[in-house]
């Protein structure tokens, strides 16, 4: 079934391209509704899960972001969950009744470590999130009678349930699986990072093993490690990804030359993951997705292309001069910089962690939610990078410096050594990740939700204050179009990224793991 093509027809009906928006409100929902090019129409899907209309209230004590050296947990601890893991005594925990603290604690550690993982973001990070959460889900799926293993859908994934011990505590198995997978998939970490992984595993195991027979503890750990190893083995059959994760900027790649084409001017700016469009996907292949052509390159000041460059120039400079909300939005969503924040795909998991706590999502539902979120971000990375290197659209700063202002600098330049991300612009990766995540959240929670994103609360190196949203659509739009006042994307990049991300999340939401009769 070609899900991408069918969703494309829907979005073409509601998304008309190629007109500029008002410059005085770059990221408002009303502006998008009034702008034919940026209009999203009814992007929300009818949620089949819980309705997220609850009030934020006091979400508990907010976690502190890690500073250089010792990392604290990135995310807030707030929400409806208890401050300790569910204690089932000497009984096995029902994953339908167990809170999700085990999963959110592991995700918070991922966010801490991802900040310092060099050479991964954003594509390899998205892949890591998909496989880690696949391992967690598969470790528990024999205990979730309403759900099926991904072995029924993913060719080449092999998990032999004859290896399943007679008695398994699935929370202990999840703990072991996540630890093993995290240790494998997050690479290029500082010395000592393994200690943080194994320390959390030991801490969680000690809590989960209280009053449990030692044989059950050992059998459960063995099952979790076995499943993680099978998932790792499956990942290693993806030769395209395995060849790229340790060679993110291959010197063999020479970008094509043409008017308006992206290129690099120094070795550190070499193309990042130029072959990622061939990497494995989980729910919707890159070839099943669609792409809309970018505006025609033009140096004519009256052309739509040039006018979108004018918008970037004005938005970037106005945001810097005003030092107000637009610069706050730009830096709040940036997540571009290694050693400063986690990566753009991981940002969606920071949001998911807050939602799971706020809405008191139980373990079984959280495992499925995180699985689909990981799949959506992975598949979004593959499709986005395929189209980036097909369209080869230049970054705004190059055009602006050549034709408008030789002294122009992006607002990102204050945070990184180079003025731009080191890959072509169209479509925007941030925008695609924003809607790839939002589409999964909408499917579970519904679109309307009073939510405050506290992902970077407490950080002082950039504008990190929490921001409140009334819907997932609103949040995705703000994330996507934050790239304009940051100075690194034209509006068409963001519009196309939003469209593509929703197309991908629709394919992921249709990826059905319901057991027959459930």
Q: In the predicted model, is pLDDT for residue 19 greater than 90?
A: no
**Which residue intervals of 15-150 are DSSP H helices?**
29-34, 101-114, 123-140
Query: DSSP per residue over 354-376, as a string?
Result: HHHHHTT--HHHHHHHHHHHHHH
Q: What is the pLDDT of residue 419?
A: 64
Q: Rounded to whole angstroms, what are the CA distances from 11 to 7, 309, 380?
A: 6, 25, 17
Q: In the predicted model, is pLDDT for residue 91 greater than 90?
A: no
Whole-angstrom distance, CA of residue 275 vs CA of residue 177: 30
Whole-angstrom distance, CA of residue 55 vs CA of residue 254: 52
Q: Rounded to whole angstroms, what are the CA distances from 445 to 80, 235, 244, 250, 345?
A: 15, 30, 35, 41, 19
Whole-angstrom distance, CA of residue 78 vs CA of residue 457: 12
What are 272-328's pLDDT values in tens digits? 999 999 999 999 999 999 999 999 999 999 999 999 999 999 999 999 999 999 999
Which band of pLDDT confidence, cut at 50, 70 and 90, is reported for residue 418? low
Whole-angstrom distance, CA of residue 109 vs CA of residue 128: 14
Is the N-terminal amide bond of 107 cis, ω within 30° of 0? no
Cα maximum dimension of the chain: 75
224 occurs within a structural domain: yes
Q: In the predicted model, is pLDDT for residue 66 greater than 60?
A: no
84 occurs within a structural domain: no
471 occurs within a structural domain: yes
Ramachandran angles phi, psi of 261, nearest 5°: -80, 145
80 occurs within a structural domain: no
Report the DSSP pairing between strands 448-453 and 467-471.
antiparallel
Ramachandran angles phi, psi of 52, nearest 5°: -90, 60
472 occurs within a structural domain: yes
180 occurs within a structural domain: yes
CA angle, 309 as apex, 428 and 254 as ends, to 5°? 55
Tokens of 115: 């900040």
Nearest Cα to Cα of residue 272 among 497, 501, 429: 429
342 occurs within a structural domain: yes
Cβ–Cβ under 8 Å, residues 255 and 263: yes
Nearest Cα to Cα of residue 491 among 365, 248, 261, 304: 304
Q: Rounded to whole angstroms, what are the CA distances from 58 to 54, 62, 359, 464, 495?
A: 12, 10, 13, 19, 35
pTM of the model: 0.85
Question: Which string of b and e fits 145-180 if b means at least 16 CB within 10 Å?
Answer: eebebbbeebeebebeeeebeeebbbbbbbbbbbbb
Across-strand partners of 468? 452
What are 338-376's pLDDT values in tens digits? 999 999 999 999 999 999 999 999 999 999 999 999 999
79 occurs within a structural domain: no
Lowest-confidence region among 46-50, 114-118, 429-433, 463-467: 46-50
Tell me the three state secondary structure of residue 223: helix
Q: In this structure, how many other beta carbons lie within 10 angstroms of the beta carbon of residue 90?
A: 9
Q: In the predicted model, is pLDDT for residue 201 greater than 60?
A: yes
Q: In the predicted model, is pLDDT for residue 474 greater than 90?
A: yes
Domain assignment of residue 162, given as a range: 3-63+91-509
Please tell me the total count of domains within the chain: 1
Q: What is the CATH number of the domain that holds 491?
A: 1.10.606.20
């Amino acid at each position: 079934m070609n899900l991408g093509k069918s969703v494309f027809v829907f979005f073409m009906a509601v998304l008309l391209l190629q007109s500029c928006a008002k410059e005085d409100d770059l990221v408002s929902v009303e502006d998008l509704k009034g702008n034919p090019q940026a209009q999203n129409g009814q992007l929300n899907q009818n949620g089949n899960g819980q309705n997220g209309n609850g009030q934020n209230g006091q979400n508990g004590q907010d976690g502190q972001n890690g500073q250089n050296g010792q990392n604290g947990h990135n995310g807030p601890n707030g929400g409806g969950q208890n401050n300790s893991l569910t204690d089932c005594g000497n009984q096995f925990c029902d994953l339908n009744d167990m809170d999700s603290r085990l999963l959110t604690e592991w995700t918070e550690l991922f966010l801490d470590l991802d900040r310092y993982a060099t050479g991964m973001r954003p594509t390899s990070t998205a892949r890591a999130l998909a496989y880690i959460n696949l391992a967690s889900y598969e470790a528990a799926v024999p205990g979730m009678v309403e759900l099926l293993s991904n072995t029924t859908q993913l060719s080449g994934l092999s998990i032999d349930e004859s290896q399943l011990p007679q008695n398994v505590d699935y929370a202990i198995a999840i703990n072991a699986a996540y630890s093993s997978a995290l240790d494998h998939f997050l690479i290029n970490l500082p010395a000592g990072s393994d200690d943080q992984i194994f320390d959390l595993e030991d801490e969680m195991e000690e809590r989960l093993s209280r009053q449990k027979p030692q044989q059950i503890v050992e059998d459960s750990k063995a099952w979790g490690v076995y499943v993680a190893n099978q998932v790792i083995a499956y990942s290693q059959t993806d030769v395209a990804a395995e060849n790229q994760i340790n060679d993110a900027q291959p010197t063999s790649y020479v970008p094509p030359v043409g008017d308006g084409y992206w290129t690099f001017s120094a070795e550190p700016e070499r193309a990042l993951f130029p072959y990622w469009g061939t990497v494995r996907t989980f729910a919707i292949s890159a070839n099943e997705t669609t792409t809309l052509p970018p505006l025609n390159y033009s140096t004519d000041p009256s052309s739509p292309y040039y006018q979108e460059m004018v918008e970037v120039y004005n938005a970037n400079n106005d945001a810097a001069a005003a030092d107000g909300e637009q610069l706050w939005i730009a830096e709040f969503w940036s997540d571009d910089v290694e050693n400063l924040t986690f990566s753009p795909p991981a940002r969606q998991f920071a949001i998911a962690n807050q939602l799971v706590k706020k809405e008191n999502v139980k373990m079984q539902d959280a495992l499925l939610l995180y699985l689909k979120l990981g799949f959506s971000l992975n598949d979004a990375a593959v499709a986005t990078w395929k189209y980036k290197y097909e369209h080869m659209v230049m970054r705004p700063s190059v055009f602006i410096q050549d034709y408008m202002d030789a002294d122009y600098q992006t607002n990102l330049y204050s945070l990184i050594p180079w003025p731009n991300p080191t890959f072509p612009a169209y479509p925007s990766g941030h925008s695609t990740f924003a809607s790839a995540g939002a589409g999964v959240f909408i499917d579970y929670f519904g679109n309307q939700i009073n939510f405050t994103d506290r992902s970077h609360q407490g950080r002082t190196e950039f504008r990190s204050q929490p921001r409140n949203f009334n819907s997932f659509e609103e949040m995705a739009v703000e994330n996507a179009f934050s790239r304009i006042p940051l100075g690194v994307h034209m509006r068409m990049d963001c519009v196309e990224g939003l469209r593509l991300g929703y197309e991908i999340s629709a394919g992921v939401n249709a990826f059905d793991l319901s057991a027959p009769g459930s």
